[in-house]
Amino acid sequence: MIPVIVVALPFVSAAVLSVVASWRIATWFNAGSASLQFVVACALAWQLRTAAAHLVLLTAFVAMTTSWFGRRDIAVSLAARSLNRQRIRRYHIGFQALIGAIQAAALADDLMLTWIALVIAVAAAAAVTGAARGAAAAAAASCLVQHCAIGLLLALLGTLLLDLAPISAGVFLLLGYGTVAGLVPLHSWLADAVAEGVAPGAVIVMLLANVPLMLFMRLHIVPKLLIGFGLVSLLPCAIALFARLDRRRTVALAGMAQLGMVVFAIGLGAKPVAWLHMTLLTLARSMVLQSQGEDTIAWLALALLPLYALYLLASPTVAVAPWLLVPLAISVLLTVWALLERRPGGMAADWVAAPPIWLQLALVMLLAFAMPAPVAAWFRGVAAG
């Protein structure tokens, strides 16, 4: 019953939010529902202890912390007239529907069910992005739908060819689900969605990337394809970080670059490293966006994360092909350099922002540096599942 509750609860919440008139009540209900979903996700993770349960728990945790920021960010957007009451309702419905679809995609045992859940997730992500008033947000939502529709069609073709032509299917699956994850070449939609959408919605939209990464770990895709695809995503995004972009776009590009490292790790067969880096990256991007790019410690966590991943990937890379360390190290150093150049000088000072950010920072520090034996065993079990 717990997996059913995990998927059903967000959709039930979306239905309730569609009839709530007060935006203040809706904001509190959204946060309360997300918090309850996190409790249920903890129960699921305790019961199953699988890769899917880990992804469900991570998604629910980030959704919960993001929903806490609704009390601050939605009020600010309403005052700035980038949201009105009708658009707030659309945002809340899309928020819950997106979480429900991501959880359904993670828990589905069948590739077609996962694909259908991702179709729903893309539609909900477009609703979240397009909730903000203005031509830029509408264009970003349209770009999201167009790019992800192409990606999902390629992924569907790869799914249908999986038993007939595994190599061709692997290419289609990489390109298709890589598009949904915001990886090169069809990646431009993510930066626009993050920059133009509602502030907390940017965090939720980026959670879409984790489901394709889980699929890459499950599917039997030729390792060389994964390694090449990871490097092709990493290097261009690292170079693009040197452009003078706003902070949200910078965070989006930094995430794309580091997701390339996750795909690279999957190709090497270093699945525990891939799961760990994906988890740390999700938490780090969440911290930066929730602080509106103003917290220097959260930014440092995102900036230095590639160095930590390079350290973890050094041995597996040397074991497969030592020369791969050269493009990997160059891309990592470029990413770190570009992010450190843009580092803000402030801190998360207000009482709404600080507690969730520090909580996530504590988790990042625990996972990256302390790594207690039970946690290490957890990630090995997740990678095995």
Give the start-to-end residue ranges of the domains of the chain: 222-385
pLDDT in tens, 39-74: 999 999 888 878 888 899 999 999 998 888 877 788
CA distances for 340 relative to 15, 302, 369, angstroms: 43, 9, 21
User: Is residue 8's pLDDT more than 90?
Assistant: yes
Mean pLDDT on 214-224 = 88
Q: What is the Cα Rg of the chain in Å?
A: 19
Residue with token string 């992924």: 155
pLDDT in tens, 309-364: 898 888 889 888 899 899 889 988 998 898 888 887 766 555 555 677 777 777 77
Query: How much of the chain exceeds pLDDT 70, in percent?
Result: 95
Measured in degrees and rounded to the nearest 5, phi and psi for residue 270 equal: -90, 65
Q: Determine the pLDDT at residue 378.
A: 67
Tell me what the pLDDT averaged over the chain comes to.
86
Q: Determine the pLDDT at residue 33.
A: 94
User: Is residue 159's pLDDT more than 60?
Assistant: yes
Q: Determine the pLDDT at residue 239.
A: 86
**Cα gap 9→5, rounded to integer Å:** 6
Mean pLDDT on 286-305 = 82
Report the residue count for the chain.
Answer: 385
Q: Determine the pLDDT at residue 312.
A: 86
Q: How confident is the model at residue 172 (pLDDT cuts 50, 70, 90)?
A: very high
Q: How confident is the model at residue 371 (pLDDT cuts 50, 70, 90)?
A: low
Q: How confident is the model at residue 255 (pLDDT cuts 50, 70, 90)?
A: confident
The H or E element that residue 319 is part of is helix 296-320
- Number of H helices and number of E strands within the chain? 18, 0
Q: Which of 73, 135, 57, 44 is nearest to 294 (CA)?
A: 73
**Cα gap 243→149, rounded to integer Å:** 28
Q: Determine the pLDDT at residue 353.
A: 58
Output the furthest CA–CA distance in the chain (Å, rounded): 60
Give the HSE-up count for residue 30: Cα atoms under 13 Å, Cβ half-sphere.
34
Q: Determine the pLDDT at residue 14.
A: 94
Q: Determine the pLDDT at residue 351.
A: 53
**Cα angle at 117 between 114 and 154, to 5 degrees?**
65
pLDDT in tens, 315-329: 889 888 899 899 889
Query: Does residue 335 contact residue 238 with C-beta atoms inside 8 Å?
Result: yes
